[in-house]
């Protein structure tokens, strides 16, 4: 084991400084997953613990706020949207509770999955959870984006046909279809494998010999990209409709000012949603398509013999681990972007913006008042000057008449 680390260090000295640090960290993590973590380093357990705690706190707060708002009579029109947010928070919370403890247990077992799961059934369960609680938030986000777009662009149709019963049926259909899709590898279509650095299981992207594996992995990535595109399109349509309607309303009425405030809050929230979704999910989905096309998988990082260049494979594995962490981060950010930030920060932002606008208006009014005073003084001075000139002219005319 010591000779392996020394040979790895000799090879790394021939690389540049940045590449040397990259390869050193990757090689250490790879050796950890095969049992050589004693002298070659280890992957920190800080990430799963922190993500589990923050995810539980955020989603629990969101569910409390949604349940209290759902019971209020004045929120009847928002019940469909509140149901979607509550379902999203519940889905993210269950995803954290079912997967994070397993990851932490593997870290405590020195990154040796077989100590925690000798039979391999837990790996399949983990893969089903990752697929289900990965696709469900994406489809729920698309459902909310469609719901908001219909509420803004077709309010009459929305108020007549969009009932809470319809929303509940759509949510149940989403959960059931995604769960059925996630269970396909259990039925023999596709495969869940242990992924580098040996702390989690997910869809295999490199086993082309497994029945339906390429189809299953490609379908997962395609469904994820499709839901992202639907969400982005509907949010853009909603923003455009809000801005257009805001411009058509007269700016002097009280209702128009309230509409402008709500428009500002909604536009900021939708922009935040799009940025979070793209940042969290695009790297994983794009990298999955890349690894499917090259028939590689991150579980090959645990193997000594690989078909690709070790450097390229290790880079893909490192990117894949970072991408899955970003996707898991979406479960933490969802309640803040959809609900908590709107209640806390957006109102503060609008208050600050209105205060700044009021200050600027007050300054403009004060400047106008000063200019009006100066103009009045100038007019008065001109009048006095004209009067004095008239008096002088009349005196001159009178003197010439006497002569």
- Domain boundaries of the chain, sorted by first residue: 45-346
How many residues can be counted in the chain?
403
The Cα 289–Cα 220 span in angstroms is 10
Residue 202's DSSP bridge partners are 193
pLDDT above 80 for 222 = yes
Taking only the tens place, the pLDDT of each residue in 358-379 is 555 555 555 566 656 666 666 6
Q: In the prediction, which pLDDT does 136 show?
A: 95
Q: How confident is the model at residue 4 (pLDDT cuts 50, 70, 90)?
A: very low
Q: How confident is the model at residue 299 (pLDDT cuts 50, 70, 90)?
A: low
CATH hierarchy code of domain 45-346: 1.20.1070.10
Q: What are residue 215's phi and psi, to 5 degrees?
A: -60, -45
DSSP assignment string, 177-198: HHHHHHTTTTTTSS-EEEETTT
Averaged pLDDT for residues 115-137: 93
Q: What are residue 192's phi and psi, to 5 degrees?
A: -100, 130
The Cα 138–Cα 178 span in angstroms is 11
The Cα 375–Cα 367 span in angstroms is 12
Scan for tokens 């008065």, then name that residue: 380
pTM reported for the whole predicted model: 0.72
Please, which residues have CB within 8 angstroms of residue 262's CB and are 6 or more apart in sequence?
Answer: none
Candidates 277, 278, 244; CA nearest to 263 is 244
The Cα 338–Cα 341 span in angstroms is 7
Scan for tokens 């790996």, then name that residue: 123
The Cα 249–Cα 254 span in angstroms is 11
Scan for tokens 């469900």, then name that residue: 136
The Cα 79–Cα 69 span in angstroms is 9
Instruction: Count Cβ atoms within 10 A of the Cβ of residue 264 and give its class: 0-12 exposed, 13-18 middle, 19 or more buried.
Output: middle
The half-sphere exposure of 163 on its side-chain side, counting CA atoms within 13 A, is 5
């Amino acid at each position: 084991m010591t000779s392996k680390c020394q040979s790895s260090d000799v090879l790394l000295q021939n690389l540049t400084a940045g590449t040397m640090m990259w390869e050193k960290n990757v090689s250490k993590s790879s050796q950890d997953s095969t049992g050589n973590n004693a002298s070659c380093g280890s992957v920190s357990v800080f990430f799963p613990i922190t993500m589990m705690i923050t995810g539980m706190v955020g989603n629990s707060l969101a569910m409390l706020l949604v349940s209290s708002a759902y019971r209020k009579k004045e929120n009847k029109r928002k019940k469909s949207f509140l149901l979607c947010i509550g379902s999203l928070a519940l889905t993210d919370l269950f995803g954290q509770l079912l997967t994070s403890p397993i990851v932490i247990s593997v870290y405590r077992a020195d990154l040796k999955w077989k100590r925690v799961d000798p039979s391999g059934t837990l790996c399949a369960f983990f893969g089903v959870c990752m697929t289900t609680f990965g696709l469900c938030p994406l489809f729920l986000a698309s459902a909310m984006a469609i719901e908001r777009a219909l509420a803004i662009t077709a309010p009459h149709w929305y108020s007549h046909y969009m009932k809470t019963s319809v929303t509940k049926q759509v949510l149940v259909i989403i959960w059931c279809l995604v769960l059925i899709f996630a269970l396909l590898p259990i039925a023999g279509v596709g495969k869940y494998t242990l992924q580098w650095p040996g702390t989690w299981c997910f869809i295999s992207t490199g086993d082309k010999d497994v029945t339906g594996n390429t189809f299953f992995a490609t379908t997962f990535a395609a469904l994820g990209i499709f839901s992202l595109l639907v969400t982005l399109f509907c949010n853009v349509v909603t923003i455009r409709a809000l801005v257009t309607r805001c411009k058509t309303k007269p700016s002097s009425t009280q209702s128009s000012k309230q509409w402008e405030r709500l428009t500002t809050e909604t536009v900021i929230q939708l922009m935040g949603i799009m940025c979070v979704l793209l940042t969290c999910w695009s790297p994983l989905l794009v990298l999955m398509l890349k690894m499917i096309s090259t028939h590689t998988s991150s579980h090959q990082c645990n193997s000594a013999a690989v078909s690709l260049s070790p450097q390229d494979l290790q880079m893909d594995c490192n990117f894949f681990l970072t991408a899955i962490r970003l996707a898991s981060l979406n479960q933490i950010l969802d309640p803040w972007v959809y609900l908590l930030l709107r209640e806390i920060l957006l109102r503060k932002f609008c208050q600050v913006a209105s205060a700044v606008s009021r200050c600027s208006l007050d300054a403009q009014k004060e400047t106008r008042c000063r200019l009006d005073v100066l103009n009045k003084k100038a007019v008065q001075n001109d009048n006095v000057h004209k009067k004095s000139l008239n008096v002088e002219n009349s005196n001159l005319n009178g003197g010439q008449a006497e002569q």
